[in-house]
A and B are shown apart, each in its own frame.
Chain A
Amino acid sequence: MLETAIQPPEIMPSVFGPELPRQRAADLPGIVSLKVSQLFEDIAQAIYLRGDDLSVVRQATKEALDVVDMGMIKAQDSINILCSEHAFNILEGKPYAQMLKTIKDVVQERTGCQNIRLRFCAGGGITEAREIIPYFQLDSHFGGQVRGTGPFDRGVPIKTEIGTLYGLARVYDADWFIHAHNDDPREIYFHRLIDRALKPFTMSYARFETRSAYHMNFGNRSSNIVPRAIFDSPFVQEKFAFTCFLTTSPAGITGVDADNDLHQLNRRLTVNTLNSYGKLMRIFAEIDECVAVLDAGRWPWYLHAGGLTSGNLFKAPIDFMDLSVGSIRKEKGDVKLNSAVKALVINYAWRELFVELPRIYPTIVAGSALARGLAKRILKHSVVAESLQTAMEFALRISKTDKVIVFDGSYGSINLSPALGEYLLEKAPEVAQRVEEKLLPMWLLQRGIDSEAVQGPVLDRRSG
C-alpha cells in the first residue's frame, strides 16, 4: 500500500524564504507515499489535485455561483473581491487563483459591473501582495484593479456589540464586498472550528490591534465572538454581497461553495471539515515518535502533509475539536507542543515565526545555504548539517526512531518513511471507528448540529 514518494507542489520563490532547496525530502531514499484514502476511504474525493488544467475549478465556481443572488449589485457600483494569502499556499495556489478569476468573470457577466477590484489581504506584510499578485497574473485579469492591504494599513472603525474594532479601510472601500476564502482548518487550535468561515473578519480584513485582541484578550473558544461581532455589525452587513469558498479535504480540492448567507455556509463548512479532516487529525495524535521534516514554501506551522498543516502535528495530543476542552495548561511553564516530535529537520520554510519550534525541538537545518536565509534567533537554537541527507541521518540518530513525516505541501498522500506508513495503516481502523462512533457525533452536537441530518461525504448548498 506504500508507493513511490509523490512529487510535492513546487515552491514559489519569495523574499520571505531562503534560497530554494536543490533537493526535496521526497527525493530522499527511504521516503515513500501513503494515500490518505488508504487510511480512511470515506475522505471526500478531490476534483483537483495537481496540474495546469483548472477547468474543473472554474466550472465548480460557476455552478456554485449559480445559486447566489447578485441582484444587489448595480452596474455602476464598485465591488471588492477579498482574498487572503494562505489560500495561495494550497496546491501551489492555482485553484484559489482560478476561483478568484472566475468570480470576477461571473459577477461582471451577470451584473454588468465593471468596477470589480481584487483586494489582496496579507497575513503579515504588503510584500506578500507584491509577490503573489503578479505570480498568478491577477493584475492582468483584473485590469490592474488589484491592491494589497495588510494589518498596518489605515483602519476603519467598526462599531460592534463588544465595542469598536478596526478593519482595514481598503477592504471596505467599495459599495460591496465578496468574501472569497478557503476552508483549510489550518489553526484549529486557535479557532476551534467555531465560526471558521468568519475568522478572516478578525484577521485578514482587520488591523493588527484587532488581531491582537482576538488572540490575547480571549481564550481560543471565546475569541470567536470577535469575528462574529465584526461580521454582524451594521457597517459590514451593509456592504456584504456574498461569500465564495474553495473547499478541500485531505484528498485535495473538493469543490467550491457559495452563499448569500455566510452563517449557512459556515455550518456546511463545519460539518465537512469534521467529516473530512477529523480522522486524520486524530491519527496524528497516535504518532508516538517521529522526525518532522519542513519542506515547503510558507511559514513553518502552515506546511501541509496529506492536506493537514504541520501545526496540527505540533498540537496533536489535544483534541481541539472537542469544545469541552477549555484549557490545556496543567502547571505554569508547561510545554504544550507535541513531545512525540523527537527532531525537526528544516529543508525549506519561510524564515520567521518559528522561533518557538527550535527552542523546544532539536532542530537540524539542511545546509549552509538554507542557514544563511534563516533568522539569527532560529539558528541560535539549531545545528546546521551539510546537506538534507546528512540532516536526516543526524535527526534519525538522535531521535532513535525510524518514523519520518514530511510536510512538503502535499495533498492526497503523505510522504513519509515506511515505518510510519505501516504504523498509521495499523492504527487507522481503530481511529476511524472511534471518530465515527464517538467523536464525530460529539463534535457535531457541541456545535448544535444533528449528526443524523448530515450523513454523506460532502455537504453543499443544495444538500445542506
Chain B
Amino acid sequence: MKKVYLLSKVDETKCIGDKICENVCPTGAIKVVNRKARVDETKCAACLECLDMCNEGAIRMVPRERPLTMGVDPLDVDQDELRALCDRARFDPDDPICLCTLTPAKEVAAAILKGAQTPEEVTLMTGIRTSCGMWCMAPILRLLKAHGLETAPPKGYRWYDVDANLWDIPEAVSQKYPEYYLEEDKKLYDESMLDNLILMLT
C-alpha cells in the first residue's frame, strides 16, 4: 500500500515538449500533446523521475488535495492461482521485490491476476517502482511473463525488455566461466536459498 501526497505540475512556459518526462514516467501519467507535457492527475505517483530528468526545470511537485492510494490486497484473488503464478516466476510470495516500497511478490501477482498487463498498470495498481525505480523492474517483468503476457515495451525508452537470469544461462556459458559460481547459485536457487539485493538488505 502506498499513499501519494504530491503531484507533478508542468510549467508550460518552460516546457519544450522534448518528451523526456513521458519516457521516464513509470505509470504513463505524462503525455506530450501539441509540444506540451500534460499530467494525468489520476496516474501521477510522485516518483520524481520527471522532476529529476527535465533539463528545462519545467516540472515541480505540488501537494495533492487528497492523497492517492495505491495497493492491492493479495487476499482478493484466488490463493492457489496466486501461489502458482509466484512459483512460475520463481518468487516466494512473501518476499519483497521492491527495495523502496517493500511490495511483496504476492501483491504484484495479485495485481496481474486482477488484470494488470503492463509494468505501467502494475505500478498504478500497487505503487511498486514509484521511488528509486531502479531494482524492481526485473521482478515485475518476470511475473508478467510467468502469467503468459507479452512484454512489448512502449515506443520510446520508458523501459526495455531484459530477461537475463541465472536459470536461463546456457550450460556452455556456465562451464566457460566457473569463476561466477553459476551452477552453485542455481542449486541454491532451487533450494530457495539464493539472496538477491532486497533479501540481502532487509
B200: chain A residues at CB < 8 Å are: 189-190, 220, 315, 328, 336
Contact of B135 among A125, A150, A211 (CB under 8 A): A211
B158 to chain A, nearest CB (A): 8
Of A113-121, A350-358, A387-395, the segment with at least 4 beta carbons within 8 Å of chain B is A350-358
Contact of A219 among B92, B136, B188, B202 (CB under 8 A): B188
Residue of B nearest to A211 (CB): B134
Given known A-B contacts A207-B160, A218-B166, A225-B180, A327 and B188 have beta carbons under 8 A apart: yes
Measured in the bound complex, the distance between the Cα atoms of B157 and A166 in whole Å is 11
The answer to whether B180 touches A209 (Cβ under 8 A) is no
Measured in the bound complex, the distance between the Cα atoms of B20 and A154 in whole Å is 9
Contact of A352 among B131, B170, B181 (CB under 8 A): B131
Is the C-beta of B185 less than 8 angstroms from some C-beta in chain A? Answer: yes
B52 to chain A, nearest CB (A): 4
Q: Mark B116-144, 1 if CB is under 8 A from A, else 0.
A: 00000000000000011111111101100
Q: Mark B3-24, 1 if CB is under 8 A from A, else 0.
A: 0000000000000000000011
The answer to whether B92 touches A332 (Cβ under 8 A) is yes
Measured in the bound complex, the distance between the Cα atoms of B163 and A225 in whole Å is 14
Is the C-beta of A67 less than 8 angstroms from some C-beta in chain B? Answer: no
The B155-186 residues at the A interface (CB cut-off 8 A) are 157, 159-166, 168-170, 173, 177, 179-182, 184-186
The answer to whether A161 touches B173 (Cβ under 8 A) is yes
The answer to whether A126 touches B52 (Cβ under 8 A) is yes
Contact of B194 among A124, A151, A160, A327 (CB under 8 A): A327
The answer to whether A209 touches B162 (Cβ under 8 A) is yes
Is the C-beta of B49 less than 8 angstroms from some C-beta in chain A? Answer: yes
Interface of A is mostly: loop
Given known A-B contacts A212-B135, A326-B188, A356-B201, A222 and B160 have beta carbons under 8 A apart: no
Measured in the bound complex, the distance between the Cα atoms of B133 and A456 in whole Å is 44
A161: chain B residues at CB < 8 Å are: 170, 173
Among B24, B94, B179, B189, residue most surrounded by chain A Cβ atoms (within 10 Å): B179
The A148-204 residues at the B interface (CB cut-off 8 A) are 150-155, 157, 160-166, 189-190, 194
Is the C-beta of B195 less than 8 angstroms from some C-beta in chain A? Answer: yes
Is the C-beta of B198 less than 8 angstroms from some C-beta in chain A? Answer: yes
The answer to whether A152 touches B195 (Cβ under 8 A) is no
The answer to whether B52 touches A219 (Cβ under 8 A) is no
Q: Mark A224-261, 1 if CB is under 8 A from B, else 0.
A: 11101100000000000000000000000000000000
Q: Mark A323-358, 1 if CB is under 8 A from B, else 0.
A: 100111100110011000000000000001101100
Measured in the bound complex, the distance between the Cα atoms of B202 and A32 in whole Å is 32
A196 to chain B, nearest CB (A): 13
Measured in the bound complex, the distance between the Cα atoms of B181 and A353 in whole Å is 29
A194: chain B residues at CB < 8 Å are: 179-180
Contact of B185 among A164, A213, A216, A326 (CB under 8 A): A326
A101 to chain B, nearest CB (A): 25
Residue of A nearest to B119 (CB): A209
Measured in the bound complex, the distance between the Cα atoms of B96 and A336 in whole Å is 14
Is the C-beta of B108 less than 8 angstroms from some C-beta in chain A? Answer: no
B152: chain A residues at CB < 8 Å are: none
Given known A-B contacts A208-B134, A216-B198, A226 and B182 have beta carbons under 8 A apart: no
A222: chain B residues at CB < 8 Å are: 166, 169, 180-182, 184-186
B49: chain A residues at CB < 8 Å are: 125, 152
Contact of A228 among B102, B162, B177 (CB under 8 A): B177
Is the C-beta of B42 less than 8 angstroms from some C-beta in chain A? Answer: no
Given known A-B contacts A212-B138, A221-B180, A221-B185, A336 and B52 have beta carbons under 8 A apart: no
B132: chain A residues at CB < 8 Å are: 124, 352-353
B24: chain A residues at CB < 8 Å are: 152
Measured in the bound complex, the distance between the Cα atoms of B23 and A125 in whole Å is 14
Measured in the bound complex, the distance between the Cα atoms of B177 and A229 in whole Å is 10
A331 to chain B, nearest CB (A): 10
Is the C-beta of A61 less than 8 angstroms from some C-beta in chain B? Answer: no
The answer to whether B92 touches A225 (Cβ under 8 A) is no
Contact of B159 among A126, A209, A219 (CB under 8 A): A209
The answer to whether B195 touches A219 (Cβ under 8 A) is yes
Given known A-B contacts A215-B196, A218-B185, A327-B193, A126 and B135 have beta carbons under 8 A apart: no
A399 to chain B, nearest CB (A): 22
B164: chain A residues at CB < 8 Å are: 160, 162-163, 165, 210, 213, 217, 226, 229
Contact of A355 among B97, B100, B157, B199 (CB under 8 A): B100
The answer to whether A336 touches B202 (Cβ under 8 A) is yes
Residue of B nearest to A301 (CB): B201
The answer to whether B165 touches A218 (Cβ under 8 A) is yes
Measured in the bound complex, the distance between the Cα atoms of B168 and A257 in whole Å is 36
Given known A-B contacts A228-B177, A336-B200, A221 and B135 have beta carbons under 8 A apart: no
A162: chain B residues at CB < 8 Å are: 164, 169-170, 173
A155: chain B residues at CB < 8 Å are: 157, 160
B137 to chain A, nearest CB (A): 4
Measured in the bound complex, the distance between the Cα atoms of B161 and A150 in whole Å is 18
Q: Give 18 A-B contacts (CB < 8 Å), ordered by A residue.
A: A153-B157, A161-B173, A163-B162, A163-B163, A207-B162, A209-B162, A210-B162, A212-B138, A216-B196, A218-B166, A219-B189, A327-B193, A332-B92, A332-B94, A336-B199, A356-B202, A360-B202, A447-B179
In the A-B complex, the 6 residue pairs with the closest CB atoms: A215-B197, A219-B185, A217-B165, A125-B52, A222-B185, A212-B138
